[in-house]
Copies of this chain bind each other. A is one copy, B any other.
Amino acid sequence: MYLVVFMSQRDDADDGYSAMSDAMVALAEEQAGFLRLESWRDDTGFGCTLSWWDSEEAIAAWKANAKHQTAQRLGRERWYDDFELQVCKVERHYTLADRKQQH
C-alpha cells in the first residue's frame, strides 16, 4: 500500500479552485487502485491531502490522467503559492484493537 501526501499553500482567490478540488476528489475515487482519501485545510490556506493507493502503478496512472493533468497545470499556474508532494510506502500499520490485544 502506498500513500501520497500532498501539502499545499493556497493563495487568497478561489478562482475555480473549490469546484476543481471537489471534481478531482470524485475522479480520484473512481480510479483503479484507489483506496482512501483524507483532506484538510486550515485558516491560513495550508492544506494536506492524503491518498492511499494499492500500487505505484495506480499512482502513476492517476498522475497521468488527462483531467488531473489539467488540474495539476492550473494548480502550478494559478492556485498554489507552494506545494510539496511525497510518495510513501506504508511499511506497517496497526489499530487500537491490535494494541488492546497486546496490553
Contact = CB atoms under 8 A, between A and B. Distances in A.
A7 B38 contact: yes
Interface in A60-103: 73, 76, 80, 82-97, 99-100, 103
Nearest to A40: B40
Copies in the complex: 2
Given A48-B38, A88-B3, A95 B83 contact: yes
Contacts of A76: 96, 99-100, 103
Given A7-B38, A103-B73, A94 B89 contact: no
Interface residues of A, number: 30
Contacts of A95: 82-85
Interface of A: 3, 5, 7, 38, 40, 42, 48, 50, 73, 76, 80, 82-97, 99-100, 103
